[in-house]
Amino acid sequence: MADFFAMGGYAWYVWMAYGVAALAIAVEIAAVRVRRKRAFDELRMSVDAPPAHAAMTRKGAAR
């Protein structure tokens, strides 16, 4: 396991590359989800639809 993380001595380079890539992708996914949610919240507010109504019909309120 330690060998895996050591990456033959190149640990800094390999993990900086993979790590930042993973981080960037996670941030992009989160940002798009936040943007979509915010767009919907603003739509909801502009229409004055009660949030509970949407929760009733949504497949999985947890999303």
The footprint of other proteins (CB under 8 A) covers: 4, 7-10, 13-14, 16-18, 20-21, 24-25, 28-29, 32-33, 35-44, 46-47, 49, 53-54, 57-59, 63
Q: Helix, strand or coil for residue 48? A: coil
CA nearest to 53, candidates 36, 44, 34: 44
Nearest residue (CB) to other proteins, 2 versus 59? 59
Closest CA to 41 of 51, 31, 33, 32: 51
- To other proteins, the closest distance from the beta carbon of 2 in angstroms equals 13
Coil, helix or strand for 20? helix
CB-wise, 2 or 57, nearer to other proteins?
Answer: 57
